[in-house]
Amino acid sequence: MLRIINIGLILILSFGTAVADSFDPFPIDIIYPKPFATIGSVDSTFIFGSVSPDRVARLEINGQNISIHEEGGFIAFLPIEPGAFEFDIMAISHTSDTIFLDWPIYVPVPGKSFAYDSLFIIDKNDFYGNLSLTEGDMLTLTIQATPGCKAYFSIPGYADSVPMAEMPPRIQPYWGEAVFGTGAVPDSMKIRGFYSGFINIDYRKLTDSTRVIYNLKAPNKDEVLSRILKEPVEFIDFELLKLLNIKGQKYESLSRVYLKINSDDFPRTLRFKDSVQIVRVGPMKGYLSIFQPEGVQAVAVGREGPWIKLRLSPDQSGWVNESSIEFLDAGWPPPRSYLKVVRCKSESDRLLIEMPLSARHVYRVEEEDQRTLRLLIYGVTSDTDWIRYDFNDDNLRLAQWSQIEPEVYCLKLCFNKPIWGYDTYYVGNTLKLQINKAPQDIDKMRDKKIVIDPGHSPDPGAIGPTGLKESKANLDIALALRKELEKKGVEVIMTREDMSDLPLYDRPKIARAADADLFISIHNNALPDGVNPFENNGVSTYYYHPHSIELARSIQSELLKGTDLNDYGLYHGNLAVNRPTQYPAVLVECAFIILPEHEAMLKTEKFQKKVARSIRKGIEKFLKEYDRE
């Protein structure tokens, strides 16, 4: 319960709102964390908010004196403890009135090893649902159980007593690292008793769903003593002796998920039904290929919950969500094409490379360097005798095919100039790779089309100590940047000009519809629980595709010169607004809105203009240095 105390008077508050008529407490407005919130499992975190600077002379949280900005904002980074935890806040007025505020949160208790005096098993596999496996798959399973025992698993009707090895103690990523640093994690923060085992799936079928059986057996006396005697004296864990109380006992547990092996459900040809499909390297894992169009076909060979495994080639698999695909009729053959000819067509603002196929195949575009692209097409075999260039094009230096795997066709394109942007799409079954040319008069700002995206709205984004919303701060900087660019003759397209709602994925659509030359998204930063904001802050810039990195570098360097803020880094970031391939795109984190000093600056026209001017200079630098070796 939140409490506020004023010299003998106790008021019960509901989420910080006073309810007494006889007492007008000076407000303490906590922005983060919210009361009763569950935060990350960390050993230190920040708390920030504001007080009335004309009424509060001193602020203490958990006994530490906290600096108050002249506008009333404050932030503290303090040690916390697992479980129910309270920040004890004391504010003292200029007239020595004192208010105490208890601010409760919950910190998840870090994991522990199981005790040695009983047998226990927990399934620790992060599967997204039931499994369907096929020949050639490897099934790896992990449990947490009583340390020092023997573990194995069985698949009824398929495999019996598959051994599981006890792994080295696991380090918990937050607890310990923040205080002790990497490599200095105490034994008390390590979890023992993780066992892992694997089995290679062969041709045999297990069509009925079944659950894996885990078995744990306590060691006998000789095994316990042998293990103890193998360790140097300083590393002996004498808790192992407790295993003697349960020697020879056994324990059995079932997996959380069911599995099928070589069922009749697979293989099966499917078709993408979403207009923009992502193929991942694993269920909910990194992106293998983005922007796959509707109608692309592939072969499904397995499943993990809602995630469908694709066989792209003998050595390459991918994963898609079942909500974005439809299975074709049983017996529908996998897509196969033999690519005979590649043809290039030059237009005023682009180079089109056309590849007629027999079906729509999964593809992947890789930027090897600033002047080299590789297009991989899965399920395609070369029959390519002809590659036709367009002699009016002066950019494509070399086009060369290779069959890098039996079912993976590779087209390598080497250019004379740095890659500006590209698009990949199907017209019928013809795959088209569109190489966008750099704008005319590349070294000048005039007549360039630049999209400015003030991040967030309708969501507020991060919120500063005195309540400044990031969505508002982003808009103020974006409007200042528009003025800077328009002075240089730039055609500016704003994704929003006010605080109106604009969904995230509509922002790149605006840029593509406008045939943008550049895309700049404006943001202001915050931090996750457990990261010290006094040591980790500044300006940072993010790109996704390699052809955007030089724009990111140029803007970051000018922001550092123009703002005098810390360098928080240049990042490759998988951010939605940076993923489109048609143009260079970056996201800029101009300041840290959760820091009182930064929040105060973000409210001023002076700082907004300073940031806008720096971004404009960064764009100018990028354009002037384009195509320089």
Helix, strand, coil tally for the chain in percent (to 5): 15, 45, 40
Residue ending a domain, choose from 258, 276, 310: 258
pLDDT in tens, 141-152: 999 999 999 999
The DSSP bridge partners found for residue 491 are: 449
Q: Are residues 47 and 93 in the same domain?
A: yes
- Given the structure tokens 């203490």, which residue do they identify? 60
- Look up 81 and say whether it is catalytic: no
Q: Are residues 137 and 247 in the same domain?
A: yes
pLDDT over threshold 90, residue 473: yes
Q: Are residues 372 and 427 in the same domain?
A: yes
407, 484, 589, 599: the catalytic one is 589
Residue 465 belongs to a domain with what CATH number? 3.40.630.40
- State the pLDDT at residue 396: 98
pLDDT over threshold 50, residue 159: yes
Q: Give residue 188's pLDDT band: very low, low, confident or very high (50, 70, 90).
A: low
- Given the structure tokens 């907004």, which residue do they identify? 608
Q: Give residue 26's pLDDT band: very low, low, confident or very high (50, 70, 90).
A: low
Q: Are residues 133 and 87 in the same domain?
A: no
In a domain, 455, yes or no: yes
Residue 125 belongs to a domain with what CATH number? 2.60.40
In a domain, 113, yes or no: no
CA separation for the pair 118, 145 (Å, rounded): 10
Q: Are residues 253 and 182 in the same domain?
A: yes
The DSSP bridge partners found for residue 369 are: 372
Percent of the chain with pLDDT over 70: 93
- State the pLDDT at residue 25: 61
- State the pLDDT at residue 42: 86
Percent of the chain with pLDDT over 90: 84
Q: Are residues 613 and 495 in the same domain?
A: yes
Domain count, the chain: 5
Q: Are residues 58 and 188 in the same domain?
A: no
Q: Give residue 177's pLDDT band: very low, low, confident or very high (50, 70, 90).
A: very low
Lowest pLDDT segment from 207-211, 424-428, 478-482? 207-211
- State the pLDDT at residue 275: 84
- State the pLDDT at residue 13: 44
Give the domain range for residue 26: 3-107
Q: Does 43 or 332 have the greater pLDDT score?
A: 332
Give the mean pLDDT of 590-599: 98
Q: Are residues 394 and 346 in the same domain?
A: yes
Residue ending a domain, choose from 81, 107, 133: 107
- State the pLDDT at residue 24: 53
Q: Are residues 613 and 515 in the same domain?
A: yes
CA separation for the pair 111, 261 (Å, rounded): 33
CB atoms within 10 A of CB 54: 10
pLDDT over threshold 80, residue 231: no
CA separation for the pair 112, 511 (Å, rounded): 50
Q: Are residues 586 and 459 in the same domain?
A: yes
Q: Are residues 429 and 458 in the same domain?
A: no
In a domain, 116, yes or no: no
Q: Are residues 384 and 465 in the same domain?
A: no
